[in-house]
Each structure stands twice: as C-alpha cells, then as structure tokens.
Chain A
Amino acid sequence: MLSSAQAEVLSLSLWVATTAVLASLLPALAVAWFLARSRWRGKMLVDALVHLPLVLPPVVTGYLLLVGLGRNSLVGSWLAETFGLVFAFQWTGAALAGAIMGFPLLVRPIRLSLEAIDTRVEAAAATLGASPVWVVLTVTVPLALPGVIAGMVLAFARALGEFGATITFASNIPGETRTLPIAIYTFIQVPGGENEALQLILISIAVSLSALIVSELIARRVKRLQAPL
C-alpha cells in the first residue's frame, strides 16, 4: 500500500518524533518539577524561556539553533569533537528541533499534574518509611502519570508536525531530515506532485489520529486505576 519512498518518510518521521519526545522527557520532568515546586522568584523567567518556542516564529528558533549549534559555532564544534554529536543537516537536528518546539507542550501538563498533587500525601509516605527518592518514585510520579502521558502525546504530535525550525536548522535531505510535513511541502512545490502530497497528508492524518486515540485509552486506564478523591 505504501510506496518505499512513503514508508521511508513515515518511518523517519516517527523515529524523529519518538526520539524528540523520549530525549526531552527527563529534562521536561526536571523543569516541570522546578516550576511546580520551587519558590524561587526567578522562576517566572524560566517559565517564559520554556514557553518561548511556542510564541516565536519557528524559523527564528531554527535559525538560532543553526547559529548556536552549527558545525562552525563554538558549542556545535565542541559537541562534534567531544561526543561526535552533529545536529546541523542530520536527522538528530530534526529531532532536536522537534524536541525544542514540543518542550513547552510537554512541560505544561506535567507541571499542572504535579501542582495538583497534595504534598501532604507525600509527607504521609515519608512517615511510612519512604526516603525522598522513593516518595518521588512511588507517589509523585504515579500520581502525575496522566499529565506525563498527555504531555508526551502533545509533544509527539508537535514534533511530528514540526516544519519551520526543522527546515531551517536541518534542511530538506531525503532519508535524513525530510519528515512528513517537509515531504508534503516538497511534493506541493513540484508540478504534478499533488497526488503524492495527498497520500502523505492522509498518512499524517491517520498517524495523528491514532496517537490521540491511543493516548486517550491510556489516560482512561490510568484514571480508572487512580480516580482522584
């Protein structure tokens, strides 16, 4: 049903979006924790910084990434030399762009669910013998799980649809950075490519829809297990 070119675009897109979400999950948990629990006044600034990709034109984000992490930039060349990690014009760059654009969407629901947790329940866990780390693992994280799942789905969808920052930072390289939206854009630009574009559009609708349905099913299951008081 899928042509090999379509399959390549689809699997690359899924791979890039999945990598983006998984790689940004731990930092997102940390930032959400900080925003939910810290009493530091400067946290408004951190909050604004996290949300910046949401309001900035994606092209600007992509350009900043290119300037900051390009091969010739300080950080970029250091990363390439030390870890062999190159972002510009690589699939990793597409994943990074997707991760940054999806980050605010990942952080927000996690933060909200952390804020909804009654810290007195965590205190109760401590009196029952749970060390701070165990309190987080056995009480905080399970209670925040619906928010984590919601955030992951939103960030996944955002990474899957990411266009502006990706094409600016990672360009449009078939098999490397040509994800679904970039492929669709490319076909639309070519005379007679509408049919190919339409097929990819249908594929991306199907993928997004199934992601939403799966997340809803997971969320329901989690809610059934832990209905709030």
Chain B
Amino acid sequence: MLSVDVTHRIGDFSLDCRFCSDERVTGLFGPSGAGKSTLLRIMAGLIRPERGRVEIAGRCVFDSANAIHVPAHRRRIGYVFQQARLFTHMNARHNLRYGAWFARGKLDAARFDQVVDMLDIGPLLDRRVAGLSGGEQQRIAIGRALLSNPAMLLLDEPLASLDAARKEEVLPYVERLSVETQLPIVFVSHQLDELLRLANRQVVAVRDGRVAYSGPTAEFLARPDLLGADQARDAGALLRVRVRAHQPADGLSELDCGGQSLFVPRVDQAPGRAVTVHVRARDVMLARERPQAISALNILSGTVESLAADGDYAVNVLIDVGDQRLEARVTRRSAQHLGLAAGQPIHAVIKSLALAEQAWERLGGL
C-alpha cells in the first residue's frame, strides 16, 4: 500500500529511510527534527529526494532510477499540516471546495454534506476563515484535504499547534477520520498517546533521519529504547479486546480479554465492538497467588513468558494472558522475591484507574 525508500540531504541533515506498510493507518513516530515532516513532504511531492522510490496506494510517484517524479498537484495526496494553512482570501466553503475544483468537479453535494457533518463545520461554512479558532481552522483544513478526492491522507501532527483544550476538540474528528473513511492514512506524531489512539497497528519510528523501527505497534510499545526518554514510561502492551457490557451504575465498561474480564472507565462503544487498550508496563503489578480483598478490579491470570533485565533495578516481564501478551515492569528485587521464572503461572493486577486516561481505539471495519 505504501512503500518508501529514499535518500535525501538538506544542509547538515541527512535522511535515509526505507519502510513499507500494508496497514490502512500507519503511524510515523519520532522526536522533533527526526525527519518525519521531511518524509511526508517527499511523499507529497513537495520535496524531490536525491535518490529512491516512493509508491503510494500502489502507484509509483517517484523513482530516481527511472526518472519518474509525479508533481505534487498530480499525486492526489490529502495533506493536513501542523498549521491549517487555509486560504485567507476565501471563506470556509470555498476553502473546502478548492481541491474538488481541480479534481474536475467530482464533488457531489452528498459527499460535501457528509464531510461537513462528520467534522461538524456546517455553521462555519460562510464565515471568513481568519475569524475561526485554531481548532475550527484545523477541522476546515481536514475537510479541505478530504474533499480533494485524495488517494491517501497525510496528517502531519495536525494537533501540534493547538492548546490542550483545542486538541481535545479536534482529536475525536481525526479519530472519526480513520474509522469513517476508507482512505490509507499516514499519521505523524511525537506524542505516544495520540499515536496509539490513531495508529494502533503499524508504526514507523524515525530517529536522526533513519528508520529505527518499522512494524506492528504492539511490538513497538514493548521497546522502551525506541520510545525516547520522556515516553519510555509509557512502554507497555496493546491488548485487543471486545466490549462485553457497560455498567452504568459504576461508570465502567467490562471488556472481554480472551475470556477474562477487564474493567475500565466507560468506553464509548457498543457491546461486541473491538477496542484496543494500552496497558503501561509500570502500571502492572504481579502476584504469585490470586490476591483477595484488593481494590484493583482487574486480575488477569497468565503465565510468565520471559524476563529481561532493564537498567540497574528493573525487570521487564512478558506475560501470556490467553492469546495476548501483557508486559509488566517490576523491580529486580520483586522479581527475585517472587522467584519469577519462565513458564510460571502468574496473576497480573491492574487498577482500572490506571487505564483511565488511556486511549481507546475503535478498529475500523470490525
């Protein structure tokens, strides 16, 4: 679906990246200055790399060996930038219609209304864009990209320029984007929580212009070394579970994790729907025997799969719970005290509240 193999140099910065992804949503993760935006600009045709090949939605748009370089305006890329970059000399409606005009009038009214509804921008249509808030502008920018009839969407940290409140306002729309459109999406972020919410299957981690990791998100999350110092705390596992039932009296939802129950603060999904839950390794406690009279609601039984020392005092423990893997990060002292060893039955204890501010991801099409 997406395959990139490029070399490029800008001043002192050199980019040499190779990855491919067959998932519909691909996360591009890395610290600022790692080269994420440069990669997107190369995909969009705004930068012509020195060497390489780029294939988007099965179509080769750049190939230095065969002198192929499809210009940006013929690539059909819906690009949402960090700043909205709206046309200030047009109102919101004309911004939205701009791309369709070049797609030879392929914009039908129903599609327009559908996008306007999805982004809740109906009341903004006849306003001047300069008068809109940052969040509103970014929603118009998303709509503008969607309505240009793109073959792929590139979202370059669309929330980065917004304050926390605006971010919460826009994030749900970006999430709907990944579920309600069937477009391939590349989502760029340096924030792990955003990334997990939107790209929970496939991640490409970029560091210093090189691909440090490319593969399933779940495996990526178990690699604190890739996450960077400030986000290594978020290392852990992604559990794929289903909503079993809601318990309105408690404000909780019960999830089905391979037959075992997982209670979390209410998830906004119908019973039977699949969601993924990010469980941080440092939030998981281990017990040899099933604890009694404990406040934590979630006790998952499993077996220790492997142990790996991490730093001076910590041990990362991989636990097999049914068909899934959980990761726990405990002190070496605790591991020795419990006599942890591979193959041993174990109980993983997780507070529901530790899952409170986690990201819930709806899986499109499930």
- Cβ of A8 to closest chain B Cβ, rounded Å: 41
Contact A127 B79 (CB under 8 A): yes
**Residue of B86, B88, B90, B103 touching A129 (CB-CB under 8 A):** B103
Nearest residue (CB) in A for B75 is: A127
Q: Which residue of A lies closest to B144 (CB)?
A: A128
Q: Are the C-beta atoms of A229 and B73 separated by less than 8 Å?
A: no
B230-263 residues at the A interface, CB under 8 angstroms: none
User: Whose C-beta in chain B lies nearest to the C-beta of A145?
Assistant: B89
Given known contacts A120-B81, A229-B130, A127 and B46 CB-to-CB distance under 8 angstroms: yes
Cα separation A138 to B94 with both chains bound (whole Å): 11
**Which residue of A126, A132, A142 has the most chain B CB atoms within 10 A of its CB atom?**
A126
Rounded to whole angstroms, the CA-CA distance of A72 and B77 in the bound complex is 59
Whether A227 contacts B87 by the Cβ 8 Å rule is no
| CB <8 Å contact, B73 and A131 | yes
B145 within 8 A of A: yes
A120 to B83, CA, bound (A): 10
B85 touches A120 (CB 8 A): yes
Question: Mask for A186-229, Cβ within 8 A of B = 1, else 0?
Answer: 00000000000000000000000000000000000000011111
Map CB proximity to B onto A95-124 as digits: 1 under 8 Å, 0 otherwise. Answer: 000000000000000000000001011011
* CB closest chain-A residue, reference B131: A227
Asked if A52 lies at the interface with its beta carbon under 8 angstroms from chain B, I say no
With both beta carbons as reference points, the residue of chain A lying nearest to B149 in the complex is identified as A129
B130→A124 contact, CB < 8 A: no
Q: Is the CB–CB distance between B73 and A124 below 8 Å?
A: no
Choose among B46, B102, B130, B148 the residue that contacts A123 (Cβ–Cβ < 8 A).
Answer: B46
Tier of interface size on chain B: 20 to 34
Indicate if the CB atoms of A127 and B72 lie closer than 8 Å.
yes
Partner among B74, B83, B130 whose Cβ is within 8 Å of the Cβ of A228: B130
CB-based nearest A residue for B147: A128
- Interface residue tally for chain A (C-beta within 8 Å): 24
Q: In the assembly, what is the distance between CA of A128 and CA of B128, in Å?
A: 20
Q: Check A143 for interface membership: any CB of B closer than 8 A.
A: yes
Question: A129-B148, A226-B88, A226-B89 known; A124 and B79 CB under 8 Å?
Answer: yes
A15 at the B interface (CB under 8 A): no
**Interface readout for A127-139 with B: 1 if CB under 8 Å, 0 if not?**
1111110100011
A139, B87: Cβ atoms closer than 8 Å:
yes
Taking a contact as CB atoms under 8 Å apart, the answer to whether A227 and B130 are in contact is yes
Contact residues in B for A54 (Cβ distance below 8 Å): none
Contact check, A134 vs B102: say whether CB atoms are below 8 A apart. Answer: yes
**8 Å CB contacts to A: which residues of B289-328?**
none
Within the complex, which residue of A127, A139, A226 is in contact with B73, where a contact is CB–CB below 8 Å?
A127
Q: Which of A124, A139, A226 has the most CB of B within 10 A?
A: A124
Please name the residue on chain A nearest to B137 by beta carbon: A229
Q: Are B88 and A124 in contact (CB under 8 A)?
A: no
Is B184's beta carbon under 8 Å from chain A?
no
Nearest CB in chain B: distance from A39 CB, A: 15
Report the nearest A residue to B89, measured CB to CB.
A226
Give A134 to B87 CA distance when docked, in angstroms.
14
A126 touching B72 by the CB < 8 A rule? Answer: yes
- The answer to the question of B78 belonging to the interface, with a C-beta cut-off of 8 Å to chain A, is yes
Quick check: A125 and B46 within 8 Å, CB to CB? no
| Residues of chain A within 8 A of B19, CB atoms compared | none
Contact (Cβ within 8 A) A229 B87: no
Shortest CB distance A163–B (Å): 38
Residue in B98, B103, B130 whose beta carbon sits within 8 Å of that of A125 in the complex? B98
**How far, in whole Å, are A129 and B151 apart by their CA atoms in the complex?**
12
Complex partner residue of B76 from A125, A129, A130, A132, CB under 8 angstroms? A129
Chain B residues with CB under 8 Å of A228's CB are: 88, 130
Check: B92 CB closer than 8 A to any chain A CB: no
Measured between beta carbons, the chain A residues less than 8 angstroms from B46 are: 123, 126-127
Is B44 part of the binding interface, using a Cβ–Cβ cutoff of 8 Å? yes
In the bound assembly, the distance between CA atoms of A184 and B199 in angstroms comes to 77
- Residue on B nearest A124 in the bound complex, by CB: B85
Would you call B89 and A225 a contact (CB within 8 A)? yes
A123-B88 contact given A128-B98, A128-B144, A130-B102, CB 8 Å threshold: no
6 closest A-B pairs (Cβ-Cβ)? A129-B102, A226-B89, A128-B99, A127-B79, A126-B72, A124-B85
Question: Which residues of A pack against B, CB within 8 Å?
Answer: 118, 120-121, 123-132, 134, 138-139, 142-143, 145, 225-229
Subset of 28 A-B contacts with CB under 8 Å: A120-B83, A120-B85, A121-B86, A121-B87, A123-B85, A124-B79, A125-B87, A126-B46, A126-B71, A127-B77, A127-B79, A127-B148, A128-B98, A128-B99, A128-B144, A129-B76, A129-B102, A129-B103, A130-B98, A130-B102, A131-B73, A138-B98, A143-B89, A145-B89, A226-B89, A227-B88, A227-B128, A228-B130
